[in-house]
Structure 1
Amino acid sequence: MEPLSLLDICCREISRHKELYREIRKLPYDLREYILEWIRSRHMLTDNNVSDFVHPQIERLKLANNFMISDLGIEQIALFVNLSLKYLDLSGCNLTDKSIFIIENITDKGIEQLTKKSKDLTELILSGCLKITDQSVVYITNNCYNLCSLDLAYCSAITDKSIGLISQNCKNLKSLFISGCTEISKQGFIELSKNLPNLIILSLGKCQKIDDNIVELMMENFSQIRELDFNNCTLITDKAVNAISTKCTLLETLSLSGCTRITDKGITDLSVSCKKIKILLLQNCELISDFSIIEISKNCKLSRLDVSYCINLTDFSINAISENCSNSLKSLNITGCDKITVPVIEEKITKLSRLKVLNLPQNSQIGDKTIEKIAYLLRKLVRLQLRGLEITQNSITSIVKYCPNLRILILSWCSRINEGDILFWENVPYLHQLKTLDLSWSEFSEEFIHQISSRAPWLLTLKLYGCRQIDDRAISIIVKNCSFLTTIQLYGCKLLTDQSILFIAENCPNLEFLDFNQCFRITDKSILKLIECSHNLQVLHCRSCPLISNDALNELKMKIPFCEINV
């Protein structure tokens, strides 16, 4: 994260003077949209202020997870926008009884008003809007004839009626997301496939009624499909995968994670017929073996492969991946694949020169030598998970030294990270790109905290769950080195006192998420300091903090009304 620009500083000041929001209407449209995105990303949009930011020429409007937007806000938007609006994201606007407010949410009434005015919508995202029913789909399909993408994931009230309306009236639809819509039956799925043969992306994850028979009937008409998501559709077997393989030869992305009945036969069928597959997700498919991975790697130029907790995979799988996908694979997750040995990790995974994401298994034999070799040879890594490994800070210095583009580093449950030669830190460069660091349940010294935090000045997220040795002094070191932090998780750090929260509030002006559950020494003094300094705070977790009073929390609710407080 770069230092705040002048425009961002202005946005921050604007957010603190809500009484002046109406003046924003006088600004040029592009500035209004910039401020809108800044306010939206901090969940500060409400029914009362959203109309101050929108304008008649706005084409894209993202309101995701702003719980203070209800039907009233949608009606306000409908008054200002016209046919220019092409993209609208209302995902997650579904919460009720938030803080001291009672929110009506987004319901069918709001969707009715919106679709009357925004008939040229091409992309509409309503995922997680729990009060949306079939009636909303009536309004959408009667008015938005140009719709290309519709996301109704986890709108649990949606039934076959909606699917019928979509399939009959949305002939331009290319992408449909209905994961978690558990009321849709066999009839709905079949009607969908008959009337929307041009779908390119279809997400059906956690639709528990889907079985082999339904998949076979659906795939008869989906020859153009490119992306399919069947994650946690637990009834499907190799028979369904065979139907996909036979009919969907253009398939590029397939998620079968959690489909625990699938075996090698299904995956080998896939490898023979669907040679365009680039992304394959097989998490928790415990029945597949090396044979599946050998065949799929031979026939498909994979860019992403997730075989986490496929417990039967061995070195033969990694050998095949290394031999066949070295020029294409960018993401590999082998968490829980405990039969893969250290020599193969060192010799074969390090040949995947394009790899950017790597999640390693929790193998007690993986040590500093292995990690140093990985860091030295895989310098394009942006995400590295080393959870539970027997590594020391020598590994960390190697990572910092050789992986300058690293953005996410997961070191949770690394019990020996405090060991190693402190002199290894000499001449180690900065990790300018590092945004997320997870040290949860690990053991480390104050000196280690100083060394790593001083080399990650743009860090945004720090996770320290269960770090019992963390004290106020360590927190002061962290926040002075990493002043751009927006998320700090301190669950169970029992040595912390109010002094830590004072350090955080004073040094991290962009703080949005703070968790100090089970930090028993923290008192009202911390809450008052957050009220004074942390105006952007969105989420506060303070369960099992007996010295914090309801009066202090109520005052925080009044002063920072957008903050979600979990006690």
Structure 2
Amino acid sequence: MDLPFEVLVYLFKFLPKSDRKSASETCRSWYLAANDYCFLKNKVVIFYKSILNDEPTSPTNIFENSSVTFYNYLFNEVEISNKLNALWDKLGENIRCLTLKNCDINEKVFVYILQRCRNLQSLNIESCKELFMSGRLLEGKTEGLLVESLDSLRSLSLSGNQYLTDALFNRFSTAAPALEELNLSGCSLQFHLGLVKKFYPPGSNIFQNPSESVLTFYFILQFVIARAENIKKLLFSNTLIDGAALKSLSEVTNLRLEGLEVHSCDQLTNTGILALTTNQTMLKELDIGLCTRVTDQSLVYICNNLVNLEYLNIQRCRAVTDLGIVELKKLKKLKSLNISQCELITKDGLERGICAEENYVLEELDIHSLNIDQTAVIIISEKFPNLRSLDISYCFNAVTDTSVQVIFKNQVNLEILKMSHCDKVSDAGLTGMGKVGEETDDDGPIMSNYDESAYRHKIHLGSRAEEEIVRDARRKHDVMLMCEKLTTDTYTGFSLARIKGLRELDISGCNRITDVSLTYAFNFKELTNLNLSRCQQITHKGIGHLVLNCPSIEFFNLIDCYNLKDEAVEEIVRGLRRLQQLELRGCNQLTDKSLEAILTFCKKLKFLDVQGCRNVSPELTTSIGSLPTLHTVLMSKPGPYISDGQKNRSPAPTFLPALMKKLRLH
């Protein structure tokens, strides 16, 4: 008996998108349920490095003839010509969000697209310099049909376009009267008052004669003043916006911003932050990461005035110390916090600030590259029980077998865990081969069962590096024995496998991780993104267990895992049916057998990196580009090759022209 459509849709809401996609391939009723509007409104159709035309083999034909209506389209590094006019004629009225990124498109085609996409709510034109180069885009087109097309536009992004001018921006804004969000990140915004006096003499109407030479902040400010009641979010990252400019923007009458992003703006000062926090108290999102002039004073202003803040990023604001971090406890609604790379923050600041009391609101925390110890990580794991994302990468002294055991004990709801280059973590920590200290209760510190003292009395005559290798081998052997003897009575530690809902895991550079962890600590049915790069002790034995217990992996990074051989790649491509991205750079023991296995079993692979795999022939690497789903192959430059100790200076192999767009030589 078939389940009703409404019941299927309800059940699919509990599935992650990867599982929902796979379920949609089962039968037509499941396909329709998985593509209900509640899912489709967030689903994006991506054309990346594709050849798009009016031929029957063009990927666009799939969507032109589809019974399902898609609302969001992204075109990345493709050529958009008038050969696609049929696509816009047929689907244009349904498109709500359109993104053109690094695309080759001319003005006439762009205008045609806008005229057909009459219900656009979001338009993103990123780094399409040829489109703006002439300065004539939309000239004489901002009335009539085009205005009707952009009447519903709420979000406009023109980021990364160096040829954008006041005149070009004015044409877009005139055609879109209901804008709420504006993104000008990476544009060449000019703030010099001399330019304003040159192009806009006193008494002139700037909207009637906007400059066709430069993009001035003065013009953008006048636009914001005119639309203040509608504007909700502004993005000026990677520009020269300074304290004075932010102050004038913040003081605009009737402006009630909910989001501001000024990431990597080196000229931003405390003066601007003070004015912002005084006037824009409704802010919910604030990104001032990599603003090097931001100090504790700014953080005090933020925490005292922006009580509604839900997202805050102060990444690498190096002047911020514990004095500012202590104030974070005042932000009771904060859901996402990034304080990474702030070198002056210590455990004391965290303990008196965000960790002053238990917090059930915070869901995302990024503290990578902080100079803290393991006690700080333990406190964090205990104070934020509802964390979904945690980044503790490069916290060399803080992430140990002891601290990760506490994380595995308390943070069972994590979906994203990143602890890259934490080389103190070993198999003992990941597998849970530890115990709670006998002198403490269950909430006390967790200590490793592994005892190195038994070996300390032995004198090692080799180098320090050799001694470390021997110690790692002994540790691996002892942990393996503990895992093999594991029973419910003797198991007192906390394994990584406790985090059942883990979807993304990064333990790259944790070189003490071996096959033991892959065998006994990895069992995640929902894991889609796994980074094991530079975990140089893993082999095909551990990979075999990993693939069996984590079948949903789509993005797999194995860069510089030089102990992997062809058997490991064969295990991966046979077991991971959803694999889309595979990075094998520096795995120099791989041969053509690996590529043959990829060619045979990978039906969904989009990205492959085999740079530095010196035993892989360039000819076979080129032929693998024929996979229909594959859009990028990274490979080393062909020749000169070394065989039998002699350089072979024969000509490089001939590449098929049709595959050249897929291949990148490095």
Match for 1:513: what amino acid? F
Q: Deviations over 1:469-525 (max 9, x none)?
A: 222222112222213211122222222222222222222221111222222222233
Match for 2:56: what amino acid? L
Task: Report what 1:286 is aligned to.
Answer: 318
Task: Report what 1:220 is aligned to.
Answer: 251
Match for 1:216: what amino acid? K
Task: Report what 1:173 is aligned to.
Answer: none
Contact kept in structure 1, 2:637 and 2:665, CA below 8 Å: no
Contact kept in structure 2, 1:24 and 1:32, CA below 8 Å: no
Distance apart, 1:546 and its partner CA: 2.6
Taking a change above 3 Å as real, the CA distance of residues 269 and 187 of structure 1, as seen in their structure-2 partners, is same
Distance apart, 1:110 and its partner CA: 5.7
Is residue 47 of structure 1 aligned with residue 84 of structure 2?
Answer: no
Matches of 2:79 and 2:636, distance apart in 1: 27
Match for 2:408: what amino acid? A
Distance apart, 1:22 and its partner CA: 8.6
User: In the alignment, which of 413, 417, 423 is matched to residue 513 of structure 2?
Assistant: 417
Task: Report what 2:100 is aligned to.
Answer: 64
Taking a change above 3 Å as real, the CA distance of residues 25 and 297 of structure 1, as seen in their structure-2 partners, is same
Taking a change above 3 Å as real, the CA distance of residues 527 and 108 of structure 1, as seen in their structure-2 partners, is farther
Contact kept in structure 1, 2:336 and 2:365, CA below 8 Å: yes
User: In the alignment, which of 402, 406, 410 is matched to residue 369 of structure 1?
Assistant: 402
Match for 2:591: what amino acid? T
Q: Deviations over 1:288-316 (max 9, x none)?
A: 12221221213443211111111121222
SS of 2:55's partner is: helix
Task: Report what 2:531 is aligned to.
Answer: 438
SS of 2:505's partner is: strand
Contact kept in structure 1, 2:164 and 2:214, CA below 8 Å: no
Task: Report what 1:563 is aligned to.
Answer: 662
Match for 2:376: what amino acid? V
> Where do 1:237-248 residues align within 5 Å?
237-248=269-280
Task: Report what 1:460 is aligned to.
Answer: 554
Contact kept in structure 1, 2:64 and 2:87, CA below 8 Å: no
> Where do 1:320-331 residues align within 5 Å?
320-324=353-357, 326-331=359-364
Contact kept in structure 2, 1:498 and 1:526, CA below 8 Å: yes
Contact kept in structure 1, 2:559 and 2:585, CA below 8 Å: yes
Is residue 536 of structure 1 aligned with residue 623 of structure 2?
Answer: no
Match for 2:619: what amino acid? K
Contact kept in structure 2, 1:115 and 1:144, CA below 8 Å: no
Task: Report what 2:575 is aligned to.
Answer: 481
Task: Report what 2:586 is aligned to.
Answer: 492
SS of 1:323's partner is: coil
Taking a change above 3 Å as real, the CA distance of residues 4 and 471 of structure 1, as seen in their structure-2 partners, is farther
Distance apart, 1:462 and its partner CA: 1.3
Contact kept in structure 1, 2:257 and 2:282, CA below 8 Å: yes
Match for 1:376: what amino acid? K
Contact kept in structure 2, 1:439 and 1:464, CA below 8 Å: yes
Matches of 1:138 and 1:189, distance apart in 2: 9
Match for 1:280: what amino acid? L
Match for 1:490: what amino acid? L
> Where do 1:34-433 residues align within 5 Å?
34=70, 37=73, 46-47=80-81, 49-54=83-88, 55=90, 57-65=93-101, 67-71=103-107, 73-78=109-114, 81=116, 83-93=118-128, 111=138, 117-119=145-147, 120-121=149-150, 122=153, 123-156=155-188, 185=216, 187-188=218-219, 190-192=221-223, 194-198=225-229, 199-208=231-240, 210-221=241-252, 223-319=255-351, 320-324=353-357, 326-338=359-371, 340-360=372-392, 361-364=394-397, 366-389=399-422, 390-397=424-431, 400-418=496-514, 420=516, 424-425=520-521, 429=523, 431-433=524-526
Contact kept in structure 2, 1:42 and 1:538, CA below 8 Å: no
Task: Report what 2:467 is aligned to.
Answer: none
SS of 2:390's partner is: strand
SS of 2:118's partner is: coil
Distance apart, 1:129 and its partner CA: 4.3
Q: Which has the larger radius of gyration?
A: 2
Match for 1:51: what amino acid? N
Structure 2 residues without counterparts, runs of 5 or longer: 1-17, 32-44, 432-493, 642-649
Is residue 471 of structure 1 aligned with residue 570 of structure 2?
Answer: no
Contact kept in structure 2, 1:85 and 1:118, CA below 8 Å: no
Taking a change above 3 Å as real, the CA distance of residues 256 and 87 of structure 1, as seen in their structure-2 partners, is closer
Contact kept in structure 2, 1:282 and 1:307, CA below 8 Å: yes
SS of 2:354's partner is: helix
Question: Kindly, what percent of the aligned residue pairs are identical?
Answer: 19
Matches of 2:616 and 2:370, distance apart in 1: 41
Contact kept in structure 2, 1:409 and 1:438, CA below 8 Å: yes
Structure 1 residues without counterparts, runs of 5 or longer: 97-103, 170-181
Contact kept in structure 2, 1:318 and 1:344, CA below 8 Å: yes
Q: Which has the higher contact order (CA 8 A, sep 6+)?
A: 1
Distance apart, 1:562 and its partner CA: 5.2
Moved more, 345-354 or 401-410: 345-354
Matches of 2:597 and 2:108, distance apart in 1: 40
Matches of 1:550 and 1:513, distance apart in 2: 27
Matches of 2:595 and 2:606, distance apart in 1: 13
TM-score by length of 1: 0.81
Distance apart, 1:413 and its partner CA: 0.9
Distance apart, 1:384 and its partner CA: 0.8
RMSD, aligned α-carbons: 3.9
Match for 1:227: what amino acid? G
Contact kept in structure 1, 2:190 and 2:216, CA below 8 Å: no
Q: Deviations over 1:129-155 (max 9, x none)?
A: 455444432432343333333434334
Distance apart, 1:358 and its partner CA: 0.7
